[in-house]
Structure 1
Amino acid sequence: MTRRTFRYVPFSIVQDATAEPEYEARCVAGDEFECGAESGVQHDPAEVEEWQRRHTQETRHTRYRRNFADYAVMQPPDGVPLGLEPARVARVHVS
């Protein structure tokens, strides 16, 4: 017989400070077809917003799909060793 013990550790999910988030926008204005113009990936949301302003001035398009991406890490609570997994199974064999 095998008995399993589940240990729960309340990890937090936090933004990875070692990787920059990414922002981008795509113009989705148009009656039959989307414009499709894109800002490209930026590391500052202000750059994407400025691209949107310029594109609207040039085209009068006012509808955009915005995307945000980042990396996240699982962070253990204070006092818990870093090597501990969020969910760990210990198998105990009983005779």
Structure 2
Amino acid sequence: MTRRVFRYVPYVIAQDPTAAPEYTSRCVSGDETDCGAESGARSDPADVEEWQRRHTQDTRHTRYRRTFADYAVLNPVEER
């Protein structure tokens, strides 16, 4: 019978510093169906908020679905 040894290796999950996060917004205002207008991916949440303000000025729509996306990396915890 062959024996196997499994070792637990702890990892820390962190945001990948080499990839910028993305922020997006989609207008979900509407009686029957959502408007569906989208901001597109932006690297700064302030840019998405400005897009929402302009869209609200143009359409009077006030409900949005915001999305944040980033990349994560798992790094092994260094033993002391």
The answer to which of 18-27 and 51-60 deviates more is 51-60
- The ranges of structure 1 where at least 4 consecutive aligned residues each deviate by more than 2 angstroms after the TM superposition are none
What is the aligned partner in structure 2 of residue 78 from structure 1?
A: 78
Report the CA distance between 1:54 and its aligned residue. 0.9
Inter-partner Cα distance in structure 2 for 1:17 and 1:47: 21
Describe how 1:10-49 pairs up with structure 2 within 5 A. 10-49=10-49
Extract unaligned runs of 5+ from structure 2.
Answer: none
TM-score, scaled relative to structure 1? 0.78
Higher strand fraction (1 or 2): 1
Shift of 1:3: 2.2
Give me the identity figure in percent: 71
CA RMSD of aligned residues (A): 1.4
Structure-1 residue corresponding to 2:56? 56
Unaligned runs of 5+ in 1: 81-95
TM-score w.r.t. the length of structure 2 is 0.91
